[in-house]
């Protein structure tokens, strides 16, 4: 299967559609647009001109980078596409380093932790870090 990876071409429409088709929550257009504008880097995977996967980097672009929205259409999963996307994201961080180190974080979907472990990520908590935490905010708060 011939897969083409493209950088920084993802549109809000594609982002929303792929999220939904991959089983993620739909987001409003304006939120998708702002997320892509404020992100640092995107990778989109195409098979015969069809968008089949994506991933994004967000963060400060120096010390702390976060992988977000790694999604692959169900019929294309388990074919190495997600790994290729994440590896391209990691490669971008490595190529952008201006200091000896950086940290790449992510939140794995439940059950997907082994996928990221194969790519060199470690589970939290561990000996050096406590559990990751997050808080969701709604417009009424």
Q: Three-class SS of residue 73?
A: coil
**Which residues of the chain fall below pLDDT 70?**
141
Q: How much is the pLDDT for 141?
A: 62
* Distance separating alpha carbons of residues 23 and 132, to the nearest angstrom: 23
Domains of the chain: 4-117 (3.40.630.30)
Q: Is the pTM of this model over 0.75?
A: yes
Q: How much is the pLDDT for 11?
A: 98
Phi, psi torsion values for 70, nearest 5 degrees: -75, 115
**Token pair belonging to 17:** 């559609």
- Whether the Cβ atoms of residue 55 and residue 90 lie closer than 8 Å to each other: no
Torsion of CA 15, 17, 19, 24, to 10 degrees: 150
């Amino acid at each position: 299967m011939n897969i083409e990876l493209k950088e920084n071409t993802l549109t809000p429409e594609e982002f929303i559609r792929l999220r939904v088709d991959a089983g993620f929550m739909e987001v409003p257009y304006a939120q998708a647009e702002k997320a892509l504008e404020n992100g640092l880097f995107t990778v989109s995977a195409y098979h015969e001109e069809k968008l089949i996967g994506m991933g994004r980097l967000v963060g400060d672009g120096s010390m702390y980078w976060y992988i977000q929205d790694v999604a692959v259409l169900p019929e294309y999963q388990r074919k190495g596409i997600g790994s290729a996307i994440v590896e391209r994201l990691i490669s971008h961080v490595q190529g952008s380093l201006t200091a000896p180190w950086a940290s790449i974080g992510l939140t794995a979907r439940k059950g997907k932790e082994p996928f990221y472990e194969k790519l060199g990520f470690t589970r939290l908590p561990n000996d050096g870090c406590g559990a990751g935490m997050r808080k969701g905010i709604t417009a009424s708060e």
